[in-house]
Amino acid sequence: MKLRTTLPFLALLIGPIASQAQRPSRSGLGYMGGPQAATWRSEAVNYRPVPGAVAGIYVPIWAGNRVEIQPELLLSLQGAARDLPDGERSTMRSLHATVPVSLKIFLNRTINLQAGVQGSYLLLAKTEGKDITDELSPLDMGLNVGIGLGTNNGVDFTLRYFSGLSNTLAEDHTTYPSNRTLQFTVGYRFMQFARGRQRN
Protein backbone atom coordinates (compact mmCIF):
# COMPACT_ATOMS: atom_id res chain seq x y z
CA MET A 1 0.00 0.00 0.00
CA LYS A 2 2.82 2.34 0.84
CA LEU A 3 4.41 1.63 -2.58
CA ARG A 4 1.13 2.47 -4.37
CA THR A 5 1.02 5.91 -2.75
CA THR A 6 4.74 6.60 -3.08
CA LEU A 7 5.02 5.98 -6.86
CA PRO A 8 2.34 8.51 -7.88
CA PHE A 9 3.88 11.07 -5.53
CA LEU A 10 7.34 10.57 -7.09
CA ALA A 11 5.84 10.84 -10.58
CA LEU A 12 4.24 14.17 -9.66
CA LEU A 13 7.53 15.39 -8.22
CA ILE A 14 9.84 14.22 -11.03
CA GLY A 15 7.51 15.00 -13.94
CA PRO A 16 7.92 18.79 -13.99
CA ILE A 17 11.67 18.48 -13.44
CA ALA A 18 12.03 16.07 -16.36
CA SER A 19 9.95 18.23 -18.65
CA GLN A 20 12.11 21.25 -17.84
CA ALA A 21 15.28 19.24 -18.44
CA GLN A 22 14.01 18.20 -21.88
CA ARG A 23 13.39 21.82 -22.84
CA PRO A 24 16.36 23.04 -24.90
CA SER A 25 18.08 26.26 -24.00
CA ARG A 26 17.54 29.23 -26.30
CA SER A 27 21.19 30.27 -25.88
CA GLY A 28 23.78 28.22 -27.71
CA LEU A 29 26.26 27.84 -30.53
CA GLY A 30 25.19 26.88 -34.02
CA TYR A 31 26.03 26.87 -37.69
CA MET A 32 23.99 28.64 -40.36
CA GLY A 33 23.99 29.14 -44.10
CA GLY A 34 21.92 29.81 -47.16
CA PRO A 35 21.56 31.67 -50.46
CA GLN A 36 21.60 35.41 -50.94
CA ALA A 37 21.15 37.98 -53.68
CA ALA A 38 23.87 40.64 -53.71
CA THR A 39 24.43 43.88 -55.56
CA TRP A 40 25.83 47.41 -55.27
CA ARG A 41 23.65 50.48 -54.87
CA SER A 42 24.66 53.74 -56.55
CA GLU A 43 22.83 56.85 -57.69
CA ALA A 44 25.17 57.18 -60.70
CA VAL A 45 25.42 53.57 -61.97
CA ASN A 46 22.74 50.91 -62.38
CA TYR A 47 24.06 47.69 -60.83
CA ARG A 48 22.25 44.36 -61.11
CA PRO A 49 22.03 41.60 -58.48
CA VAL A 50 24.03 38.37 -58.65
CA PRO A 51 23.46 35.11 -56.76
CA GLY A 52 25.64 34.46 -53.74
CA ALA A 53 25.76 32.52 -50.49
CA VAL A 54 26.58 32.92 -46.82
CA ALA A 55 27.72 30.40 -44.18
CA GLY A 56 29.26 30.37 -40.72
CA ILE A 57 28.53 30.19 -37.01
CA TYR A 58 26.15 32.11 -34.75
CA VAL A 59 25.70 32.49 -31.00
CA PRO A 60 22.14 33.34 -29.89
CA ILE A 61 22.30 34.65 -26.31
CA TRP A 62 19.26 35.05 -24.06
CA ALA A 63 19.17 38.67 -22.86
CA GLY A 64 15.78 38.98 -21.19
CA ASN A 65 12.15 38.16 -21.66
CA ARG A 66 11.52 37.87 -25.44
CA VAL A 67 14.97 39.29 -26.23
CA GLU A 68 18.10 37.70 -27.69
CA ILE A 69 21.42 39.15 -28.86
CA GLN A 70 23.01 37.23 -31.72
CA PRO A 71 26.62 37.75 -32.85
CA GLU A 72 27.76 35.81 -35.93
CA LEU A 73 30.94 35.06 -37.87
CA LEU A 74 30.21 34.37 -41.54
CA LEU A 75 31.82 33.98 -44.94
CA SER A 76 29.77 35.90 -47.49
CA LEU A 77 29.99 35.51 -51.29
CA GLN A 78 28.77 38.80 -52.75
CA GLY A 79 29.19 40.86 -55.89
CA ALA A 80 27.38 42.90 -58.50
CA ALA A 81 26.88 43.10 -62.25
CA ARG A 82 26.46 45.99 -64.67
CA ASP A 83 25.66 46.35 -68.34
CA LEU A 84 28.45 47.74 -70.52
CA PRO A 85 27.93 50.16 -73.43
CA ASP A 86 28.69 47.39 -75.96
CA GLY A 87 25.82 45.28 -74.62
CA GLU A 88 27.98 42.88 -72.64
CA ARG A 89 27.60 42.39 -68.90
CA SER A 90 30.47 42.69 -66.43
CA THR A 91 30.20 40.66 -63.22
CA MET A 92 32.25 41.23 -60.08
CA ARG A 93 32.53 38.63 -57.30
CA SER A 94 33.82 39.27 -53.78
CA LEU A 95 34.37 37.17 -50.67
CA HIS A 96 33.98 38.80 -47.25
CA ALA A 97 34.39 37.79 -43.62
CA THR A 98 31.38 39.39 -41.93
CA VAL A 99 30.48 39.94 -38.28
CA PRO A 100 26.79 40.79 -37.84
CA VAL A 101 25.38 41.49 -34.37
CA SER A 102 21.59 41.49 -34.17
CA LEU A 103 19.02 42.31 -31.51
CA LYS A 104 16.09 39.87 -31.77
CA ILE A 105 12.69 40.77 -30.33
CA PHE A 106 10.29 37.82 -30.11
CA LEU A 107 6.64 38.55 -30.83
CA ASN A 108 5.76 35.11 -29.46
CA ARG A 109 7.71 31.92 -28.69
CA THR A 110 8.93 31.52 -32.29
CA ILE A 111 8.56 34.63 -34.49
CA ASN A 112 11.10 37.41 -34.04
CA LEU A 113 12.04 40.75 -35.56
CA GLN A 114 15.74 41.53 -35.97
CA ALA A 115 17.87 44.64 -36.36
CA GLY A 116 21.57 45.24 -35.93
CA VAL A 117 24.92 46.26 -37.30
CA GLN A 118 27.40 44.43 -39.50
CA GLY A 119 31.09 44.87 -40.15
CA SER A 120 32.98 43.00 -42.84
CA TYR A 121 36.49 42.55 -44.19
CA LEU A 122 37.19 41.96 -47.87
CA LEU A 123 39.15 38.76 -48.52
CA LEU A 124 39.11 38.55 -52.32
CA ALA A 125 37.49 40.25 -55.32
CA LYS A 126 37.60 39.32 -59.01
CA THR A 127 35.98 40.44 -62.24
CA GLU A 128 36.34 38.55 -65.51
CA GLY A 129 39.18 36.52 -63.97
CA LYS A 130 41.13 39.63 -62.91
CA ASP A 131 42.01 40.21 -59.26
CA ILE A 132 40.65 43.62 -58.20
CA THR A 133 40.97 43.22 -54.44
CA ASP A 134 43.21 46.29 -54.16
CA GLU A 135 40.63 48.41 -56.01
CA LEU A 136 37.94 47.84 -53.36
CA SER A 137 37.70 49.15 -49.80
CA PRO A 138 38.82 46.44 -47.35
CA LEU A 139 36.31 47.37 -44.63
CA ASP A 140 32.55 47.72 -44.86
CA MET A 141 29.95 48.75 -42.30
CA GLY A 142 26.18 48.65 -42.51
CA LEU A 143 22.81 47.81 -40.99
CA ASN A 144 20.72 44.63 -40.94
CA VAL A 145 16.95 44.21 -40.59
CA GLY A 146 15.02 40.98 -40.82
CA ILE A 147 12.45 38.53 -39.57
CA GLY A 148 13.13 35.10 -38.10
CA LEU A 149 11.53 31.91 -36.89
CA GLY A 150 13.22 30.26 -33.91
CA THR A 151 12.13 26.82 -32.74
CA ASN A 152 12.73 25.04 -29.44
CA ASN A 153 14.39 22.11 -31.24
CA GLY A 154 17.30 24.36 -32.22
CA VAL A 155 16.41 25.25 -35.83
CA ASP A 156 16.31 28.93 -36.88
CA PHE A 157 15.07 30.44 -40.15
CA THR A 158 15.97 34.03 -41.04
CA LEU A 159 15.17 36.41 -43.90
CA ARG A 160 17.47 39.44 -43.64
CA TYR A 161 18.35 42.56 -45.62
CA PHE A 162 21.73 44.30 -45.35
CA SER A 163 22.35 47.89 -46.41
CA GLY A 164 25.98 48.99 -46.52
CA LEU A 165 26.99 52.48 -45.41
CA SER A 166 30.54 52.42 -46.84
CA ASN A 167 31.86 53.15 -50.32
CA THR A 168 32.91 49.81 -51.82
CA LEU A 169 35.54 51.41 -54.09
CA ALA A 170 38.91 52.41 -52.66
CA GLU A 171 39.50 55.34 -55.06
CA ASP A 172 36.13 56.79 -56.01
CA HIS A 173 34.71 60.31 -55.90
CA THR A 174 31.75 60.00 -58.28
CA THR A 175 29.64 56.82 -58.04
CA TYR A 176 29.86 55.95 -54.29
CA PRO A 177 28.47 52.39 -54.55
CA SER A 178 27.60 50.41 -51.41
CA ASN A 179 26.84 46.76 -50.75
CA ARG A 180 23.31 45.37 -50.58
CA THR A 181 22.32 41.77 -49.81
CA LEU A 182 19.07 39.88 -49.26
CA GLN A 183 19.68 36.52 -47.62
CA PHE A 184 17.72 33.53 -46.41
CA THR A 185 19.48 31.30 -43.90
CA VAL A 186 18.78 28.13 -41.96
CA GLY A 187 20.63 27.65 -38.69
CA TYR A 188 20.94 24.83 -36.17
CA ARG A 189 22.12 25.23 -32.58
CA PHE A 190 24.21 22.09 -32.06
CA MET A 191 25.41 23.23 -28.62
CA GLN A 192 23.20 24.60 -25.88
CA PHE A 193 24.28 26.82 -22.99
CA ALA A 194 22.83 26.74 -19.48
CA ARG A 195 19.11 27.36 -19.72
CA GLY A 196 17.91 30.82 -18.80
CA ARG A 197 14.35 31.90 -18.27
CA GLN A 198 11.89 30.77 -20.91
CA ARG A 199 10.05 33.28 -23.06
CA ASN A 200 6.38 33.73 -22.29
**Domains of the chain: which residue ranges?**
26-192
| Distance (Å, whole) CA 9 – CA 6 | 5
The b-or-e profile of 138-161 (16+ CB within 10 A means b, else e) is eebebebebebebeeebebbbebe
Give the whole-angstrom CA distance, residue 97 versus residue 190: 22
Q: What is the DSSP string of 93-138?
A: EEEEEEEEEEEEEESSSSEEEEEEEEEEEEEEEEETTEE-GGGB-S
The pLDDT, as a whole number, for residue 27 is 84
Give the CA distances from residue 126 to residues 8, 27, 93, in Å, rounded to whole numbers and listed in that order.
69, 38, 5
Determine the pLDDT at residue 199: 53
pLDDT score, position 184: 98
Segments of the chain scoring below 50 in pLDDT: 1-24, 196-197
Q: For residues 124 and 122, what is the distance between their CA atoms, to the nearest angstrom?
A: 6
What's the predicted TM-score (pTM) here? 0.81
Residue range 26-192, CATH number: 2.40.160.20
Q: Mention every residue, 6+ apart, whose C-beta is less than 8 A from residue 57.
A: 29, 30, 31, 32, 72, 73, 74
Rounded to an integer, what distance in angstroms lies between the CA atom of residue 39 and that of residue 50? 6
